[in-house]
Structure 1
Amino acid sequence: MKNPLLGLIAAALLLGGCAHPSSTLPLRGTGDLGVVVERATGTLQLIESSTRTSLARIDGLGDLSHASVVFSRDQRYAYVFGRDGGLTKVDLLLQQVDKRVIQAGNSIGGAISQDGSLIAVGNYEPGGVKVFDAVSLALIADIPATPLADGSRNSRVVGVTDVPGQRFIYSLFDTGETWLLDFSQGNDPQITRFENIGNQPYDALLTPEGRYYIAGLFGENGMAKIDLWHPERGVERILEDYGRGEQKLPVYKMPHLEGWTLAGDQAFVPAVGHHQVLVLDSTTWQQTDAIDVAGQPIFVMARPDARQIWVNFAHPDNHQVQVIDSETHQIIATLEPGPAVLHMEFTARGDQLWLSVRDGGEIQVWDPYTLKQIASLPADSPSGIFFSSRAHDTGL
């Protein structure tokens, strides 16, 4: 007599084979994968860094003109925040959209919680933050921002970042506040509000260990720093000469503060409205140097071993990339990858640097030790590049 259990197992294997034949998608891990945002077409290009190849193009992601991406802790899923309010969960193994919701009218990025269970999205319209279940994309919490004085709308939200302790932090552009959401006790968060942090906070960064949240101010000089080990100490103003008020040049593109980098006890910072990279002591947050560079810097990124600092620029100098020695602060190379270099991303161990050349229609791969280009892939108006290794970094 045949074993009925064996028959059930055979039927299950047959059904699984029909759904995803092994000849269609080979067995692979996810730690070597990444995505490139193709902003003009609302698509993602799925890439593999070891082979320096493109594996697939995934469409149906809406408006990606200011898109950012975070990854699930198992590195299988990418969560894409679109400018049209879309939150899209993409399966990197099946190379397709898993789930998608339109959760707002205009969103500006988001974050994934420390345990990987929650996705927070910052919204311009309606102003506030919405938090979703990472598996189902079901709405968990809806936290409206402070209304404007005239009652016309809520403040726009910027700089949404995950912080240790199952928390999120973000700033309110129109009302000059920073809010800290604590989900450690469940899905009804405790909210700590920091008021009067400065005029028009436009973006923010978190230091790598997750201690300091620093918001840049669009409407005045200086920055606002919060020590998350001691939030009861409130907001400290730092770098009073940093910002828009004293700029000598028109600002063609505001630098993203997540484009700051720390190398040892130094912070390398794009100067707003100046052709300089500022160097700060990351223990005192005092400026120690200013490095003259080819244009207005946008992203200032350290090679993972912190030996080099790579810098790209705003228009009209965005055809160039410069490399700075982190010890001597000397420029050791000026490269010209092509027109409109928008974004750069190192592999986790720093053996490759990938960069997007939007107007050249390509993604380039460089060896950051020899400073030579080693590969090129075609892409449709590429912008952001995100590797799945980001899943294990706080504040990205």
Structure 2
Amino acid sequence: MSRRLAPLAGLLVALAVGGWSPSGPATAGDAAATDGVAALYKEHCAACHGEDRFGGIGPALLPENLERLRKPEALRVITDGRVATQMPAFGDRLNANQVAQLADLIYRKVTPTPVWGEGQIRASHVVNADAAALPAKPGPGLQGADPLNLFIVVETGDHHVSVLDGDKLERLHRFASRYALHGGPKFSPDGRFVYFASRDGWITKFDIYNLVVVAEIRAGLNTRNAAVSGDGKWVMVANYLPHSLVLLDAGDLSLVKIIPTLNAAGDKTSRVSAVYDAAPRKSFVAALKDVPEVWEISYDPQAEPVAEGLVHDFQYKEGHFTPGMFYPRRTMLKDYLDDFFFTQTYHEILGSSRSASKGQVIFLDGRKKIADLDLPGMPHLGSGITWQWQDPTGRERTVMASPNLNEGVVTVIDLGTYENIKEIKTLGPGFFMRSH
């Protein structure tokens, strides 16, 4: 069994919503105060979704974030809760009129429109220690523990992080974190640094060797996740609000670039479902939640230029080409992706959507969908696992297993044919899977 850093996380899942019919512009506070809904929101919603509706443990409740949720569905979610999230049911505490008032509130525009751009991001940047000046070896705080056999535990109840000795399962260090961290911290390639993303946009860099927070920056108002590049130089942040990807220098978390998530036509923006590192490709891959596109963003200085619009001749670069490093290369799809998973070769991704009855297999080099996946329910492909399996005939096959957020089943897929070969019934829905 390989020894590696492993994140342990509590349940850090929340309502993911999107589609709206505007009730007319108004400030959230003024409009709500006229009918008493402000008090309802403060009592029942603000703890998770923020006093200003900008998000916290739960996502931001703003029209821009509700692109794909129709109001009847919003009423149902408030009343009955939502499966596989921390969104509880309020039907036993609120009457139908109160539920309707809250639904009206979350579809009202907040004026002025929330802004979190370059100025706000740079102003939030805090550097607590010069990473270059800290010893590049495990310090005394680790008490002799193997730095590659530690657990980083994200505590959901009181917003702390603990560092545990993987052999003794004893706590070595504990520190206060930003509010509502995501449960999947990301590590630098050498295992020295760990990067955390909070749901309200804070990115934190922590030095495991020296047990100190190195730097922090707020990259957004509502953040989906973050990824660290395979070369350890870059951090990419996926935002729900604003609609953007934010590139940071992994050294001190300083801002490098903001990439607005506009569709190819340039007339619609989108939240980002997720961003992951594709180390063999030297790129980040992101799925857009409100636009049917997948983006690949190379961090390779030698990346091929990206063609825009009509190109007469690729060989002689006759057309409009943009330098490929940190510039999105689009794959156009017919359906959205809420989650995805890389095959072992990183040539393809397997994607799923909450609203679709089938998943998709997307060939990244060809930038097209090549197969459908029979994945009903709510598969959580982002936490899937792969391994080599010898079938009863002796044939070795690469397979992938995915839990399901809505049903008690684990689906096993043949990655050669993309067919389901086994459904394993479980006692309830699942969220994470790990292999060794």
Deviation at 1:188, TM superposition (A): 4.2
Q: Which residue of 1 aligns with 2:270?
A: 155
Q: Which residue of 2 aligns with 1:50?
A: 167
Deviation at 1:37, TM superposition (A): 0.5
Return the alpha-carbon distance in structure 2 between the equivalents of residues 29 and 146 of structure 1: 45
Q: Which residue of 1 aligns with 2:356?
A: 220
Return the alpha-carbon distance in structure 2 between the equivalents of residues 31 and 287 of structure 1: 36
Aligned AA (1:50): D
2:399 equivalent among 253, 266, 282: 266
1:129 aligns with 2:245: yes
- Higher helix residue share: 2
Higher relative contact order (CA 8 A, sep 6+): 1
Secondary structure of 2:185 counterpart? strand
Q: Which residue of 2 aligns with 1:344?
A: none
Return the alpha-carbon distance in structure 2 between the equivalents of residues 142 and 188 of structure 1: 14
Return the alpha-carbon distance in structure 2 between the equivalents of residues 49 and 25 of structure 1: 11
Aligned AA (1:235): K
Secondary structure of 1:57 counterpart? strand
Q: Which residue of 2 aligns with 1:115?
A: 231
Return the alpha-carbon distance in structure 1 between the equivalents of residues 400 and 177 of structure 2: 38
Tell me the matched-pair count: 270
Deviation at 1:118, TM superposition (A): 0.6
Cα 1:279–1:28 shift into 2, 3 Å: closer
Secondary structure of 2:168 counterpart? coil
Q: Which residue of 1 aligns with 2:78?
A: none
Secondary structure of 2:366 counterpart? helix
Cα 1:272–1:122 shift into 2, 3 Å: same
Deviation at 1:210, TM superposition (A): 2.5
**RMSD of aligned C-alpha atoms?**
2.8
Secondary structure of 2:431 counterpart? strand
Q: Deviations over 1:298-343 (max 9, x none)?
A: 22333x1xxxxxxxxxxxxxxxxxxxxxxxxxxxxxxxxxxxxxxx
Return the alpha-carbon distance in structure 2 between the equivalents of residues 41 and 271 of structure 1: 28
Cα 1:95–1:288 shift into 2, 3 Å: same
Aligned AA (2:175): I
Q: Which residue of 2 aligns with 1:40?
A: 157
Contact 2:352 2:379 in 1 (8 A): no
Contact 1:269 1:278 in 2 (8 A): yes
Q: Which residue of 2 aligns with 1:236?
A: 370
1:288 equivalent among 409, 416, 421: 421
Cα 1:232–1:148 shift into 2, 3 Å: closer
Contact 1:180 1:193 in 2 (8 A): yes
Deviation at 1:62, TM superposition (A): 2.7
Return the alpha-carbon distance in structure 2 between the equivalents of residues 40 and 219 of structure 1: 31
Deviation at 1:33, TM superposition (A): 1.8
1:106 aligns with 2:222: yes
Q: Deviations over 1:272-295 (max 9, x none)?
A: 533222222121110112222211
1:178 equivalent among 278, 294, 297: 294
Q: Could you state the TM-score of these two structures normalised by the residue count of structure 1?
A: 0.62
Contact 1:38 1:45 in 2 (8 A): yes
Q: Which residue of 1 aligns with 2:327?
A: 190
Contact 2:288 2:294 in 1 (8 A): yes
Return the alpha-carbon distance in structure 2 between the equivalents of residues 134 and 237 of structure 1: 36
- Higher strand residue share: 1
Residues 1-396 of structure 1 aligned to structure 2 (within 5 Å): 26=143, 29-64=146-181, 66-146=182-262, 154-163=269-278, 164-185=280-301, 188-199=325-336, 201-228=337-364, 231-239=365-373, 241-244=374-377, 256-264=380-388, 265-271=398-404, 273-302=406-435, 304=436
Q: Which residue of 2 aligns with 1:250?
A: none
Deviation at 1:145, TM superposition (A): 0.5
5+ long unaligned stretches in structure 2? 1-132, 303-323, 389-397
Contact 1:169 1:180 in 2 (8 A): yes
5+ long unaligned stretches in structure 1? 1-15, 245-253, 305-396
Return the alpha-carbon distance in structure 2 between the equivalents of residues 219 and 149 of structure 1: 24
Return the alpha-carbon distance in structure 2 between the equivalents of residues 204 and 162 of structure 1: 12
Return the alpha-carbon distance in structure 2 between the equivalents of residues 149 and 271 of structure 1: 34
Return the alpha-carbon distance in structure 2 between the equivalents of residues 105 and 196 of structure 1: 28
Contact 2:263 2:270 in 1 (8 A): yes
Return the alpha-carbon distance in structure 2 between the equivalents of residues 89 and 23 of structure 1: 20
Cα 1:140–1:150 shift into 2, 3 Å: closer
Deviation at 1:242, TM superposition (A): 1.4
Cα 1:25–1:263 shift into 2, 3 Å: closer
Cα 1:25–1:295 shift into 2, 3 Å: closer
Deviation at 1:147, TM superposition (A): 6.0
Cα 1:112–1:55 shift into 2, 3 Å: same
Aligned AA (1:88): T
Contact 1:255 1:299 in 2 (8 A): no
Return the alpha-carbon distance in structure 2 between the equivalents of residues 202 and 154 of structure 1: 16
Secondary structure of 1:298 counterpart? coil
Return the alpha-carbon distance in structure 2 between the equivalents of residues 148 and 238 of structure 1: 24
Cα 1:53–1:274 shift into 2, 3 Å: same
Q: Deviations over 1:9-67 (max 9, x none)?
A: xxxxxxx99xxxx8766466521222110122221111110122111111142322x34
Contact 1:243 1:272 in 2 (8 A): no
Aligned AA (2:271): R
Return the alpha-carbon distance in structure 1 between the equivalents of residues 140 and 353 of structure 2: 53
Deviation at 1:206, TM superposition (A): 1.5
Percent identity, aligned pairs only, is: 25
Cα 1:148–1:296 shift into 2, 3 Å: farther
Contact 2:332 2:368 in 1 (8 A): no
